[in-house]
């Protein structure tokens, strides 16, 4: 088995940390999504991802998507796997029933998304992007647009893309130059080049729905003059059937370090050559406006926030995959005697303390980030569906704070975990046939796309912390104190160890929140110099907090499943003793070290 979905751990989180039963009682629409359903859904998803999709992961690295004359051929087997995925109804899992979705809570769907990403990140990017396109249409699309496009996206006939980046416009979307020319019939002609378009061209579906940021002539400068357009690969007739090929073409795909099976396209919209204008209407890609002009960035952010959470799950997913592989190797590979003399001769390397330290680091980081993501998903569901407006508002605020942590911290941690994964394998880890190296290469994109870690950290500092003077952040610290109080009532060694570390890290967090809130306006360079360390501190703390909650559940449920609960307790304690203390050094760097970040003169670099 190349991948074993961690169904038990996911259900533990869903039940005990995310509180699914509370949600299903409060939200009538979720009444059918109780724990039993969750269990059944996860088991079904585990089968598909383990048996059908995971085996294609290594294959995709060896035989990546290829481009020829504008046509992209995906890895052998991807097309069939995508069919199985679509026919299982998985693309619609979290989306509204009125368009053919299943209307499941994100609390459940997030676990399925993690499985899909763990099984095959390159493959899973296609559904991830389609999810984003559906979100954007649900938010800002017209009724006709929704009815025309969403059902086809959910049944897997078509897929979606996000077209933001241009060569000169990456993190800085104010620099977008692609232009949209209004046509007499209400449509637009799109002209421009977009790069880094994930699944911008492929052979797994009959049509591709590009969502494209562009400027209408005369629009305001900067981000306030950007609109969002829907530009299908094949035009769609009024009856939903496919029409002419649009003037939107893939001129190349990138040669990347990782996620090689995922085609990363350069798309040319309206290149003006007659041969490309099969729509017979002259050059320019035919697009339709989504929502209102000049509000494109706002809509795109909705899509991007969903995608950012999804990329955070990719971090958890690839970390778990790397952990599973490393643990299996460590149990199998025999090398050297244990230092404690517990085995007479050479033993499996899992008997060596440093191998154990690496595996526990991988495991605890993965479980911590998974727990954080699960809690965040519950907040999302409550924010969108809770009957009480105040509860919706509070959950939304909590979720908003979590998104940069789930995205930023989980992906940064995946770099550490996949690196350790190679390390556990020793020399074999560096040989591509082993497979551990692929996770290391694949993971590196995660801290970059959908907003680099620095972009997440800017969001955390600016919108999520400084804007309200640190109030929301302090509120979360207050919730952590409640957990500390509960831990203090226990007398197990594990609870005491976790309490000590959690309290110290929460105090580090508060000191940094005070620093950020105080300096964001007065000394922005100082606040933003500490932005990524602050994100890492906050993510570390919140993940550790969730594991602390898990520890208490596990202590109380020891009788129900001793081996699992004991492992959870040990993992939570390891995290508290080995990972949480990192907040001390981050605090010192942020609070004492801001000046030295920007002191060196530019000439000296």
Considering only residues 416 to 445 of the shown chain, the ones binding a copy of itself according to CB under 8 A are 419, 422-423, 426-427, 429-433, 437, 440-441, 444-445
The residues, any chain, with a CB within 8 Å of residue 405's CB and separated by 6 or more, are: 312, 372, 376, 460, 535, 538, 539, 542
In angstroms, give the least distance from the CB of 459 to a copy of itself: 12
Whose CA is closest to 375, among 42, 17, 106, 113?
A: 17
- Give kind and range of the element (H or E) at residue 178: none
The residues, any chain, with a CB within 8 Å of residue 501's CB and separated by 6 or more, are: 544, 576, 577, 580, 581
In angstroms, give the least distance from the CB of 191 to a copy of itself: 22
In angstroms, give the least distance from the CB of 363 to a copy of itself: 8
Residue 51 interacting with a copy of itself (CB under 8 A): no
Q: By CB under 8 A, name the one of 193, 396, 452, 492 that touches a copy of itself.
A: 452
Its sign, for the CA torsion 238, 242, 246, 249, is: positive
- Which one of the spans 52-60, 89-97, 109-117, 587-595 is the region binding a copy of itself (CB under 8 A)? 587-595
Q: Which is nearer to a copy of itself, 139 or 452 (CB)?
A: 452
In angstroms, give the least distance from the CB of 493 to a copy of itself: 9
- Give kind and range of the element (H or E) at residue 520: helix 493-522
The contact mask relative to a copy of itself for 336-375 (x = CB under 8 A, - = no) is x--xxx----x---x-xxxxxx-xx--x------------
Residue 126 interacting with a copy of itself (CB under 8 A): no
Site for a copy of itself in 291-330 (CB under 8 A): 327, 330
Residue 66 interacting with a copy of itself (CB under 8 A): no
Site for a copy of itself in 181-210 (CB under 8 A): 195-196
Residue 266 has φ and ψ, to the nearest 5°, of -95, 120
Size of the site for a copy of itself (CB under 8 A): 96
Q: Which is nearer to a copy of itself, 175 or 488 (CB)?
A: 175
Q: Which is nearer to a copy of itself, 479 or 585 (CB)?
A: 585
Residue 603 interacting with a copy of itself (CB under 8 A): yes
In angstroms, give the least distance from the CB of 253 to a copy of itself: 11
In angstroms, give the least distance from the CB of 11 to a copy of itself: 17
Site for a copy of itself in 512-541 (CB under 8 A): 524-525, 527-529, 531-533
Site for a copy of itself in 240-269 (CB under 8 A): 254-258
Looking at the annotation, which residues are catalytic? 450
Angle at 487 between CA 516 and CA 374, to 5 degrees: 65
Q: Where are the alpha helices (DSSP H) in 71-120?
A: 78-87, 106-119
Strands 158-163 and 207-216: parallel
> Could you tell me if 564 and 499 are in contact, meaning their C-beta atoms sit under 8 angstroms apart?
no
Cβ count within 10 A of residue 239: 6
Residue 503 interacting with a copy of itself (CB under 8 A): no
Distance of alpha carbon 54 from alpha carbon 22, whole angstroms: 33
Residue 168 interacting with a copy of itself (CB under 8 A): yes
Here the tokens at position 39 are: 């269990």
Q: Which is nearer to a copy of itself, 171 or 193 (CB)?
A: 171
Instruction: Report the chain's C-alpha Rg in angstroms.
Output: 24
In angstroms, give the least distance from the CB of 211 to a copy of itself: 18
- Which one of the spans 144-152, 281-289, 295-303, 589-597 is the region binding a copy of itself (CB under 8 A)? 589-597
Residue 602 interacting with a copy of itself (CB under 8 A): yes
In angstroms, give the least distance from the CB of 222 to a copy of itself: 9
Q: Which residue has the tokens 């890895």?
A: 75
Indicate the length of the chain as a whole number: 605
Residue 144 interacting with a copy of itself (CB under 8 A): no
Q: By CB under 8 A, name the one of 297, 497, 499, 537 that touches a copy of itself.
A: 497
Q: Which is nearer to a copy of itself, 291 or 533 (CB)?
A: 533
Q: How far is CA 545 from CA 343, 477, 509, 579, in A?
A: 37, 10, 12, 12
In angstroms, give the least distance from the CB of 306 to a copy of itself: 20
Q: How far is CA 583 from CA 27, 457, 536, 577, in A?
A: 37, 16, 8, 12
Residue 571 interacting with a copy of itself (CB under 8 A): yes
- Which one of the spans 97-105, 231-239, 274-282, 333-341 is the region binding a copy of itself (CB under 8 A)? 333-341
Site for a copy of itself in 100-119 (CB under 8 A): none
In angstroms, give the least distance from the CB of 532 to a copy of itself: 5
Q: How far is CA 596 from CA 239, 512, 588, 590, 592, in A?
A: 63, 17, 13, 10, 9
> Could you tell me if 38 and 571 are in contact, meaning their C-beta atoms sit under 8 angstroms apart?
no
Longest CA pairwise span in the chain (Å): 84
Q: How far is CA 427 from CA 57, 258, 360, 497, in A?
A: 22, 20, 21, 36
In angstroms, give the least distance from the CB of 543 to a copy of itself: 15
Distance of alpha carbon 515 from alpha carbon 533, whole angstroms: 13
Distance of alpha carbon 577 from alpha carbon 502, whole angstroms: 9
Bridge partner list, 159? 208
Q: Which is nearer to a copy of itself, 69 or 599 (CB)?
A: 599
Residue 592 interacting with a copy of itself (CB under 8 A): yes
Q: By CB under 8 A, name the one of 48, 457, 473, 542 that touches a copy of itself.
A: 457
Count Cβ atoms within 10 A of the Cβ of residue 452 and give its class: 0-12 exposed, 13-18 middle, 19 or more buried: middle
Distance of alpha carbon 411 from alpha carbon 461, whole angstroms: 18
Residue 448 interacting with a copy of itself (CB under 8 A): yes
Bridge partner list, 303? none
């Amino acid at each position: 088995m190349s991948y074993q979905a961690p169904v038990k751990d996911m259900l533990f989180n869903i039940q005990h940390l995310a509180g699914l039963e509370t949600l299903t009682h409060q939200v009538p629409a979720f009444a059918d999504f109780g724990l039993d359903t969750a269990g059944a859904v996860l088991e079904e998803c585990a089968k598909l991802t383990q048996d059908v999709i995971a085996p294609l992961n290594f294959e995709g690295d060896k035989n990546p998507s290829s481009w020829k004359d504008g046509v992209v051929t995906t890895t052998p087997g991807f097309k069939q796997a995508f069919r199985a995925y679509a026919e299982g109804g998985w693309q619609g899992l979290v989306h509204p029933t009125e368009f053919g979705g299943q209307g499941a809570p994100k609390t459940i769907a997030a676990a399925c998304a993690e499985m899909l990403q763990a099984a095959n990140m390159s493959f899973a990017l296609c559904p991830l992007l389609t999810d984003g396109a559906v979100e954007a249409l649900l938010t800002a699309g017209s009724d006709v647009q929704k009815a025309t496009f969403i059902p086809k996206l959910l049944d897997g006939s078509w897929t979606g893309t996000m077209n933001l980046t241009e060569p000169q416009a990456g993190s800085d979307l104010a620099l977008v130059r692609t232009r949209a020319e209004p046509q007499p019939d209400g449509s637009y002609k799109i002209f421009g080049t977009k790069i880094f378009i994930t699944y911008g061209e492929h052979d797994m579906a009959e049509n591709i729905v590009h969502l494209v940021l562009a400027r209408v002539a005369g629009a305001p400068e900067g981000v306030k003059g950007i609109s969002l357009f829907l530009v299908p690969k094949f035009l769609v007739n009024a009856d939903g059937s496919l029409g002419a090929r649009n003037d939107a073409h893939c001129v190349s795909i990138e040669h990347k370090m990782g996620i090689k099976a995922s085609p990363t396209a350069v798309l040319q919209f309206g290149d003006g050559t007659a041969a490309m204008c099969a729509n017979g209407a002259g050059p320019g890609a035919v697009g339709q406006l989504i929502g209102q002009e000049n509000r494109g960035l706002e809509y795109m952010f909705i899509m991007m926030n969903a995608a950012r959470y999804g990329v955070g799950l990719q971090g958890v997913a690839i970390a778990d995959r790397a952990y599973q592989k490393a643990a299996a190797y460590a149990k199998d590979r025999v090398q050297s005697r244990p230092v404690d003399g517990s085995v007479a001769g050479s033993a499996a390397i899992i008997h060596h303390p440093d191998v154990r330290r690496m595996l526990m680091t991988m495991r605890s980081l993965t479980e911590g980030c998974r727990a954080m993501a699960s809690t965040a998903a519950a907040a999302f569901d409550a924010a969108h569906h809770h009957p009480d407006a105040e509860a919706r508002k509070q959950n939304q605020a909590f979720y908003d704070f979590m998104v940069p942590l789930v995205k930023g911290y989980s992906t940064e941690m995946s770099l550490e975990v996949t690196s350790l994964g190679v390390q556990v394998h020793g020399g074999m880890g560096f040989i591509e046939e082993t497979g551990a190296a692929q996770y290391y290469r694949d993971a590196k994109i995660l801290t970059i796309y959908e907003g680099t870690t620095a972009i997440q950290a800017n969001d955390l500092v600016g919108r999520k912390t400084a804007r309200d003077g640190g109030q929301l952040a302090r509120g979360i610290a207050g919730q952590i104190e409640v957990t500390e109080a509960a831990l203090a009532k226990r007398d197990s060694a594990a609870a005491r160890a976790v309490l000590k570390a959690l309290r110290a890290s929460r105090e580090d967090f508060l000191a940094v929140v005070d620093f950020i809130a105080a300096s964001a306006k007065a000394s922005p360079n100082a606040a933003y110099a500490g932005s990524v360390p602050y994100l890492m501190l906050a993510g570390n703390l919140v993940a550790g907090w969730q594991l602390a909650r898990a520890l208490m559940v596990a202590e109380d449920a020891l009788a129900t499943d001793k081996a699992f609960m004991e492992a959870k307790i040990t993992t939570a304690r390891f995290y508290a003793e080995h990972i949480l203390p990192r907040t001390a050094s981050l605090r010192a760097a942020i609070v004492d070290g801001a000046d030295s970040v920007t002191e060196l003169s530019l000439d000296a670099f």
